[in-house]
Amino acid sequence: MALKRIILEMGHGNDMHGGDYTKAALRAVQDAIHHSSLPFLRTLKVEPASMQIEVTIGVQRPDKVDGAQVAASLPHGQVKVNVVKGGLDVIDEERGGASVIATAAIAVRLDLEKHLDHSA
C-alpha cells in the first residue's frame, strides 16, 4: 500500500483564560477541519474510515495535551496524534497564568492506486 498525502490543513486555537492545553489543541483541530471539504470521498468511493490521519499539535507544554481526546475529535479515519513543542503561551502577569495558543497540522493519506480507475 503506497499512501499519498492528499490533504494538509492547518489551524490554530486557544484557551484565553483557563490555561488548558487540550482545549486549545481541540480548538486548533476544529479550526483546521472546518477549512476542508472532502468531495473526493464520494467521487472515488472512499470509505472515510480508511483515511490515515496524522495530527500534529504544537504547544509549549506537550505533556499537558490529552492526545486521546484530540484523536476522538476527528469524525473519520484512523488517527495518530503527535504533540510537539510549539505554539505560544502569553503570560498574564496581572492575573497570573497564561493564555495558551496551539497550532494544528492535519495530514490525510490514502492509497490512491486502490481508488483510481486505470481503465481510461
pLDDT tens for residues 2-52? Answer: 888 989 999 999 999 889 999 999 999 999 999 887 787 888 888 888 889
Domain CATH code at residue 100:
3.30.1330.20
> What range does the domain containing 70 cover?
3-35+45-115
Q: How long, in residues, is the chain?
A: 120
Number of domains in the chain: 1
For residue 120, being part of any structural domain is answered with no
Residue 120 has pLDDT above 60, yes or no: no
For residue 40, being part of any structural domain is answered with no
For residue 68, being part of any structural domain is answered with yes
For residue 59, being part of any structural domain is answered with yes
Q: Provide mean pLDDT across the span 81-109.
A: 94
Residue 94 has pLDDT above 90, yes or no: no
The helix (H) or strand (E) run that includes residue 28 is helix 21-33
Torsion sign over Cα 65, 71, 75, 76: positive
For residue 86, being part of any structural domain is answered with yes
